[in-house]
Structure 1
């Protein structure tokens, strides 16, 4: 049925546009008058439906990050590098640092609410002399970051499934090819919800965010009530160098990478902007609320988990292969109870992967629409049946399937994908924030924003840059001191290959067909 234009007020986010006109809802396809104005200014055609509202996009981003779940899933990294005190205080420092990063990106998300995200912002805000090249590089790194995110989330979920099997069957011997098959099963679910059920995705992710919140208490309460707890003094003050770095400060710093991975991807709502109603207003606020809400839930869960780890080494060396499942079992003494608690984690992880798949397909679609990748015409199209970039969804599935074979040969090698993804995404954050920082330093005018940092903009941007660079360096540290060749952090090699390929392809072909989003921007603001 064709969309019918109406002139009702926008439900909960009314405001006037810059020219004084009231922002009103037009249709499910075009969104509001503000959405239509933003798309016209950026020179983009509205091809997808704006199914997401303020609540549903907030739920979508919260589920993608799943911060408290991520803290349990990656706690082994923090415990190994810093102990309980290092994990708790390291997480808190990262939480505060990312607050400046999120605020900086939220402002840009309001200025240019497009699926392109960082590479689009760089194209608009970078100095004219380098905006096309920097935008192209950021586009490739952002695309790589989100592709590896899908592999990482499905990988963690598959190993959690193996942990439940090991918990229920003492004779089970986990094999990496088992995890690969489980990853494929998860990808089938992702494909279904990103194709046949794509129009119901806001509703589905809204239901999962309820599980995200209810599940938090369903796990938190048993841990506090039933677990044997370590002393508060030990939990908050006992730093441990379990990897034998020989320097406690260095050990804690390396452990920050695990906490940082819980916040990387917080701009996911930006890549769904063209499917969000009233995006310039809604998306920035969804990002900030996700940072506050998920960030605090993650810190509370990290503290709780640390109280329940009375013997760090026994948890790290668990026969289940998943430390938090060992903690659940130590707490409840029940296989069934531990399995149910772990199952909550797995369901959320699977639908986080569904949301990641939707996000990275939109990132690829947007970059292809601007002719930034080979076969742009294929990847930059929207299916008239599903009204989503179907080809981009399918290629994302194919990429993750290809990456899943790596773990059969080497789990250590697959783990480097996380470093590659984190390093790539942090680079896109640094470059995009760096561009708007330079405009502020030069006193150049900025685009209107419905999330304006005002006089706090420049200090917020500068703090963000310093923090991101610090974490970016740590992301490529090896996971242990004096590593053998097999234990090196080869993520930096993958990162270098992507950067070199993007640069070579740009000069060979990309610069002849990629103009950058800024070339399509109209001057009618």
Structure 2
């Protein structure tokens, strides 16, 4: 589970991939201080999630916990929308990682082939190919998935050291005062502070999604104890790796203009090349990132499909009778896997018409997931203040639970607001961050389905449960 969560989120790999966002808004100072703030805030969030995972270790995750903890009058409705939020978040994050791998490969082609002409649809096709490749380890090789996760975890750590050692030894060295206290506003915003809030998407994006372990709960032993331990261990390990990678990048960045104007589309590839002055070394270091993100895609497909399967099992999705099927012999939710692939392919097509597709896709995934956290934690706060005693759990926050839960909500509130903002001004149709519009569109679809059919079929998992309370 530690390997699964670590590879599913790809923390330090994400820092490299999203570096361009923070160089436009916030700069090196934001990457350093923002990483610290986001790590501390997300630790509170995941401590809250871990306690709920110990109460109810099920593949449903957030929508199941809302069903149990929300006020009785609103349990059904809030749980239903929590299920849609969680499902949307995981489907979009799966698409964003496949998109990252595809376009990083495209960036390597641009670096090595001088006359290559960049076409957005090339990246889209590569992203779809990566998603299809991930299907292999979630179908015919599903029984080998734990072994793959263990191997990827080893590479997750060894690849990390290979990259940071190379950059510290061969890259330029920045001055601490300049690196740590320089905040930039290249997005054209009215103030550097506002620009920095927009740029927080980069450090927070690599720390979202550690609820992934919860969606595998029904496939592990002693889940009530294993899940919270895996969640908190993965947060601690990966927040540390992400911070060290952030420090390495800001101190070995070199000339920012050179990094941002590279032909690859990804500043980290140009950083590798500027430091090593070698195509071979750059290809090898970038290949490590590609392999790790591909492993992330495999893990995210597993988590995303299990969440869809679980929600369909509780009759919360259209076509639930088909989506809730488990393929005999393989013991996997094959229909949910196929739907996850289809959604990833459709979302990758956004890249064909938008130059900032990654920003929109990443923002939508982060927005939906953070909303699901906010809703879930709000329910446990209400339960602590006004409801009956909390269900029994092996892993408990004890007397600090309420303070940690409220601290989580205070941290999430500004993040949810700013994560929907576009990267630059003036805003045009091609540079607009369409994540909020897409989220509203999904809510409209979910609402229509709920009032037409869902409210007659979806009851929420709490109606099927009996409980012991502390």
**Distance (Å, rounded) in 2 between the aligned partners of 1:342 and 1:277:** 36
Q: CA deviation at 1:443?
A: 5.6
**Distance (Å, rounded) in 2 between the aligned partners of 1:405 and 1:81:** 26
- Deviations for 1:301-360, whole angstroms, at most 9, x for unmatched residues? 001001111222221121121110100001111100010000000000011001000000
Matches within 5 A, 1:184-203: 184-203=128-147
**Distance (Å, rounded) in 2 between the aligned partners of 1:235 and 1:523:** 54
Question: 1:67 — aligned with what?
Answer: 11
Residue among 208, 217, 220 paired with 1:276: 220
Q: Does 1:232 align with 2:209?
A: no
Q: Contact (CA 8 Å) 2:391, 2:467: kept in 1 or not?
A: no
Question: 1:138 — aligned with what?
Answer: 82
Q: Which structure 2 segments of 5+ residues have no match?
A: none
Q: CA deviation at 1:424?
A: 0.6
- Could you say what secondary structure the match of 1:356 adopts? helix
Q: Contact (CA 8 Å) 1:90, 1:253: kept in 2 or not?
A: no
**Distance (Å, rounded) in 2 between the aligned partners of 1:481 and 1:185:** 33
Q: Does 1:503 align with 2:447?
A: yes
Q: Does 1:172 align with 2:116?
A: yes
**Distance (Å, rounded) in 2 between the aligned partners of 1:315 and 1:195:** 40
Q: CA deviation at 1:405?
A: 2.1
Residue among 287, 309, 312 paired with 2:231: 287
Matches within 5 A, 1:445-456: 445-456=389-400
Residue among 319, 332, 346 paired with 1:388: 332
**Distance (Å, rounded) in 1 between the aligned partners of 2:468 and 2:186:** 59
- Could you say what secondary structure the match of 2:184 adopts? coil
Question: 1:364 — aligned with what?
Answer: 308
Q: Does 1:429 align with 2:373?
A: yes
Q: How many residues align?
A: 469
> How has the CA–CA distance of structure 1 residues 450 and 523 changed in structure 2, closer, same or farther, with 3 Å as cutoff?
closer
Question: 2:275 — aligned with what?
Answer: 331
**Distance (Å, rounded) in 1 between the aligned partners of 2:410 and 2:379:** 14
**Distance (Å, rounded) in 1 between the aligned partners of 2:345 and 2:219:** 27
Q: CA deviation at 1:472?
A: 0.5
Runs of 4+ more than 3 Å apart? none
Question: 1:487 — aligned with what?
Answer: 431
Q: CA deviation at 1:175?
A: 1.2
Q: Contact (CA 8 Å) 1:110, 1:450: kept in 2 or not?
A: yes
**Distance (Å, rounded) in 2 between the aligned partners of 1:58 and 1:414:** 27
- Deviations for 1:80-99, whole angstroms, at most 9, x for unmatched residues? 11111111111111111000
Q: Contact (CA 8 Å) 1:144, 1:421: kept in 2 or not?
A: yes
Q: Contact (CA 8 Å) 1:413, 1:490: kept in 2 or not?
A: no
Q: Which has the higher helix share?
A: 2
RMSD: 1.2
Q: Does 1:247 align with 2:188?
A: no
Q: CA deviation at 1:414?
A: 5.5
Q: Does 1:266 align with 2:210?
A: yes
Residue among 39, 48, 53 paired with 1:109: 53
**Distance (Å, rounded) in 2 between the aligned partners of 1:312 and 1:523:** 57
Structure 1 stretch 305-314 or stretch 74-83: which is displaced more? 305-314
- Could you say what secondary structure the match of 1:129 adopts? helix
Question: 1:152 — aligned with what?
Answer: 96
Structure 1 stretch 510-519 or stretch 165-174: which is displaced more? 165-174
Structure 1 stretch 122-131 or stretch 231-240: which is displaced more? 231-240
Taking structure 1 as the reference length, the TM-score comes to: 0.88
Question: 1:123 — aligned with what?
Answer: 67
Structure 1 stretch 101-110 or stretch 232-241: which is displaced more? 232-241
**Distance (Å, rounded) in 2 between the aligned partners of 1:90 and 1:277:** 36
**Distance (Å, rounded) in 1 between the aligned partners of 2:179 and 2:467:** 57
Q: Contact (CA 8 Å) 2:355, 2:431: kept in 1 or not?
A: no
Q: Which structure 1 segments of 5+ residues have no match?
A: 1-56
Q: Does 1:400 align with 2:353?
A: no
Q: CA deviation at 1:412?
A: 2.7
Q: Contact (CA 8 Å) 1:208, 1:351: kept in 2 or not?
A: yes
**Distance (Å, rounded) in 1 between the aligned partners of 2:267 and 2:313:** 43
- Deviations for 1:161-218, whole angstroms, at most 9, x for unmatched residues? 1121122212212211211221122122111100000011010011011000000000
Question: 1:318 — aligned with what?
Answer: 262
Structure 1 stretch 333-342 or stretch 305-314: which is displaced more? 305-314
- Deviations for 1:25-44, whole angstroms, at most 9, x for unmatched residues? xxxxxxxxxxxxxxxxxxxx
- Could you say what secondary structure the match of 1:267 adopts? helix
Taking structure 2 as the reference length, the TM-score comes to: 0.98
Question: 1:14 — aligned with what?
Answer: none
**Distance (Å, rounded) in 2 between the aligned partners of 1:75 and 1:404:** 20
Question: 2:157 — aligned with what?
Answer: 213
Question: 2:457 — aligned with what?
Answer: 513
Q: Contact (CA 8 Å) 1:90, 1:255: kept in 2 or not?
A: no
**Distance (Å, rounded) in 1 between the aligned partners of 2:383 and 2:187:** 43
Structure 1 stretch 343-352 or stretch 184-193: which is displaced more? 184-193
